[in-house]
Structure 1
Amino acid sequence: MVVPQGSLGTWEWKSIVGNMFPLLIVLSIIVLWAGITLEEAEEMLGEFAILAVMVPTMVDMGGNLGAILSSRLSTRFHLGTTKLDPTDRVLWANVIAILALAATIFTALGIGAYALGVLIFDTPIALSTLLFISLVSGMSVAVIAIVFSFAATYGSYRLGIDPDDTTIPIVTNVVDVFGMVIFIGVSAAVLNF
């Protein structure tokens, strides 16, 4: 079977592994930073257990938002319907949709964490504080996800690498790291830890 070759590389496993293996090694090293940050925040997370419950959702949702936008941008590249143009209304609509989704998700996370904290942990953290931590962290992560989605998609395309192969690993790993660092930093600042 002959696989047609386009301008963005091939579908041969050697090409994909050759492009991805070095990238995955670098991204694995970067993700260690998130683990180190989490370990350094062990005391705060032990004292305010509800924050430890929020960590996986915070990190996961940021990566998911970036993956959604990266996927949409990659699809538009493959269809030939996009270019880097600040006047492109569809690009701005995608950015606004990601920000609106982030605001909804991180508001729900703050409210859900508070409810869970009252039911299970008898949390001393006020609803307004949890909402502030969740929204400031979440919206910051969403902006980072948007920036890295654009950078990874356009960078891959410019290098002649299929954005479908590179964008989601890059965006999710980078957003995981920044998501963890931002969440821990905002939490520590707000709780004066």
Structure 2
Amino acid sequence: MVAPQGSLGTWDWKSIVGNMFPLLIVLSVIVLWAGITLEGAEEMLEQYAILAVMVPTMVDMGGNLGAILSSRLSTRFHLGTTELDPTDRVLWANVGAILALAATIFTALAIGAYALGIVIGSPLPLSTLLVISLVSGMSVAAIAIVFSFAATYGSYRMGIDPDDTTIPIVTNVVDVFGMVIFIGVSAFVLGF
């Protein structure tokens, strides 16, 4: 059975490309901002090499958290089990799970970075790494949650399949904010 044109179940490549191409152009420009931010922090990252090691994980994990929540929300929309009601306990459980996962991941990142810093001779105190990692990580998780809800609900309301749009939107936006927040928090904590 073929889904009617315009429904969320349409697998028409022209529709997908038509929706995604302009979005990908805009997102590419946004991601350029992250690269410029990273280049501006070159001196700090050279002085504290362990922070440069943390950057890819910090950015990647933020996007992954957003992708997880976006996928869960998209699935609930497709199944017709959500309307984004603020009293929906399952929605709040998903948000809580993302925050708990973020706290776990970013704590582990700080501990791993501390251990690696000792090995490579670029140590920072564990307390400093925990502050940088948890403040940055939890901020990125909060942004991932907001953009996951916005992208999923916005796509759904516009009649675009959220499965086609949410992951690129959320991962790119969270990557940029993750980079900016991580560099900003690191610079603040280290006095740069």
TM-score over 0.5 for the pair: yes
1:78 is the counterpart of 2:74: no
- Tell me the amino acid that sits aligned with residue 149 of structure 1: S
Map 1:4-153 → 2, pairs under 5 A: 4-5=3-4, 7-8=7-8, 10-123=10-123, 125-153=124-152
- After superposition, give the CA deviation of every residue in 1:135-185 in whole Å (9 maximum; x if it has no partner): 000000000000000000000000000000000000000000000000000
Unaligned runs of at least 5 residues, structure 1: none
Number of aligned residue pairs: give it: 191
Q: Which secondary structure state, in structure 2, belongs to the residue aligned with residue 160 of structure 1?
A: coil
Give the conservation status (yes or no) of the 8 Å contact 2:54–2:109: yes
- After superposition, give the CA deviation of every residue in 1:66-109 in whole Å (9 maximum; x if it has no partner): 00000000000000000121100000000000000000000000
Q: Which secondary structure state, in structure 1, belongs to the residue aligned with residue 2 of structure 2?
A: coil
TM-score (normalizing by structure 1): 0.97
TM-score (normalizing by structure 2): 0.97
Unaligned runs of at least 5 residues, structure 2: none
More displaced, 2-11 or 158-167?
A: 2-11
Indicate the percent of aligned positions where both proteins have the same amino acid. Answer: 87
- Tell me the amino acid that sits aligned with residue 172 of structure 2: N
Shift of 1:9: 5.9
Give the conservation status (yes or no) of the 8 Å contact 1:137–1:179: yes
Show structure 1 runs of 4+ deviating over 3 A. Answer: none
